[in-house]
Amino acid sequence: MKKFLWSLLEVGETVVIAVVAVFVVRTFIAQPFLVSGASMEQNFHDRDYLLVDELTYRIRPPERGEVVVFKWPGDHKSYYIKRIIGLPGERVVVDDGKVKVTDVEGILRTLDESYLATSFSGHTEATLGAHQYFVMGDNRSFSYDSRNWGPVDRSEIVGLVRVRLWPLNQAMAFHPPRY
């Protein structure tokens, strides 16, 4: 009987450690995310299963070109996936398929977005505050993003997309483009 109780205690201890480990990982390190919609196509597709790194942005700020998951500013219960285009303090001008960014030093650059599959049209201008980011979907003609509802605050960004886990034949790690 004593051996049975000892074995039961060990199983209980293992279960508690596993539950605590999963809680810590999902709360502070990484969590899964399921893509819904076509706003990030050609690079991410509907029903792609991604792993989102929640730790990196505790160490450093988000960078241009990184794909992030964030709480939609209109409803914090909804999560979106978009690419960071503009950083805090910058001015972003989107005009007929070209994105121009004036950084905090006043240097103007047109982003080379060769990762986009199609061109897009329209005009938007935004000057970002100290903790704001301008985000856009990769499928610009079909993306609901900062052009529609404005910048995303740093506090709304959940994490950085690191890996596609599903579908298995497209599993891969992601790296931001160099502008």
C-alpha 175: how far from chain center: 12
DSSP 41: T
From the CA atom positions of the chain, what is the Rg in Å?
A: 20
CA gap 132, 90 in Å, rounded:
9
Q: Which of 139, 177, 179 has its CA nearest to residue 46?
A: 139
Among residues 39, 77, 143, 155, the one annotated as catalytic is 39
146 is catalytic: no
How is 31-57 classified by DSSP, letter by letter? EEEE--SSTTTTTS-TT-EEEEESSHH
* CB contact at 8 A, 34 and 167: no
2, 77, 78, 82: the catalytic one is 82
Amino acid at 118: T
Q: Is 121 a catalytic residue?
A: no
Residues designated as active site:
39, 82
